[in-house]
Amino acid sequence: MKKLFLLLVAMATFNANAALISVTTDKAVYNVGDSVTATVSISDLFDANSVQTLFSAYTTMFTFDASLLELITGSTMSLSPYGPDLGPFPAEPFFTPSEFGNNVGVMSSSINFNPASQLGRNTIGLFTVNFIANAIGDSVLTLGVSTISDPLNPFAPPTMVSTQNASFSVAQVPAPSTGILAALALAGLALSRRRANV
């Protein structure tokens, strides 16, 4: 009962204006062939009066350059923004790729009316997704319109929140040094000569 009361007090003011949905990557520079992990999170959930914004649903979308990155099918993993799956609304996001010319969009949305596990958390992970870096260049994962919904008023229109993009570079796989190759060749010759003498 006390937990329910705290949840209702925390949700009394739905102030999503300060909230921020961002996408980040695990590194700033990748080599061709590397796996790129993108993480989408929501943060800044406390306002200046220390009132927390809780949410019962989110929708977000980001685009990526399909000439540089290849989406790994089935790599999406929910970070359980609502805590354990309590049904009937699962915590897993719907994840729908769609194409826009050279860019591919990834839209994710999820709903769950039990955000009690969000209490006291200023940053909450939404989901991760993996790509393969296929070409050299600079890339940006660009977030589009992102919204969250009020747990106390689930039928109200969702509230737009601010977004933050992620940028990174894909470099060529570094070639082995010629000095290292020469040393390996000499070691191979010495080994083969030693075997011939035995």
Which pLDDT score, from 0 to 100, does residue 12 have?
40
Which pLDDT score, from 0 to 100, does residue 4 have?
42
Which pLDDT score, from 0 to 100, does residue 81 have?
85
Which pLDDT score, from 0 to 100, does residue 174 have?
60
Which pLDDT score, from 0 to 100, does residue 19 have?
94
Which pLDDT score, from 0 to 100, does residue 75 have?
83
Please give the structure tokens belonging to residue 116.
Answer: 């009690």
Which pLDDT score, from 0 to 100, does residue 5 have?
40
Which pLDDT score, from 0 to 100, does residue 3 have?
44
pTM for this model (two decimals) = 0.75
Query: Which residue numbers in the chain have pLDDT < 50?
Result: 1-13, 88-90
Which pLDDT score, from 0 to 100, does residue 83 have?
76
